[in-house]
Amino acid sequence: MVDREVSSGWLMFMGFRAAEDRIVAALAAAGYADLTRAQARLLAHIDADGTRLVVLADRARIPKQTALALVNGLETAGYVERTPDPSDGRARLIRLTARGRGMLPVAIAEEERIEADWQAVLGVRRMRALRRALQKLTGPGPDGPGPVGG
């Protein structure tokens, strides 16, 4: 192995995975132990009014077939349902069920604890700087443009 510093991209990924581990563990502790990491990631991309499968796949950056398999599992477990899209009768929306909506406060509360823990390590000023830098590098949000230069 080459002796070199770990790349910034890898460090960001490791931070993401550490946060994701905490969220999945919090969900499991709250009774949502049947959720896989991949399913939890996909659930995070569903809009309040529902989202088309192709949009979910794009947001999660996975093939449509993979998104379909994840949605099938989520539907079987009672987290989502498919409903007609009011803007296009041929299309279907993936919507959270009551069970799916029930896990949201758990995930959001853990995200808030993670942010607070990171801020405790970095301090308020450096946490704000980190967030600004990450927003510049990745775009304004999950539906925004990709990384700078991408």
Helix (H, G, I), strand (E, B) or coil at 92: strand
pLDDT at 89 (0 to 100): 80
**Cα(119)–Cα(39) distance, rounded to whole angstroms?**
28
- 132: tokens are 């600004």
**Cross-strand pairs, 82:** 94
- Asked if 42 and 96 count as a contact pair (C-beta separation under 8 A), the reply is no
Helix (H, G, I), strand (E, B) or coil at 146: coil
- The architecture (CATH level 2) of 8-138 comes to Orthogonal Bundle (1.10)
Mean pLDDT by 10 residues, the chain (150 residues): 85 95 97 95 94 95 96 97 90 96 96 97 97 87 51
Q: Could you state, in order of their start, the residue ranges of all structural domains in the chain?
A: 8-138
Q: Considering only CA atoms, which of 9, 8, 29, 6 is closest in space to residue 113?
A: 29
- 16: tokens are 């993401």
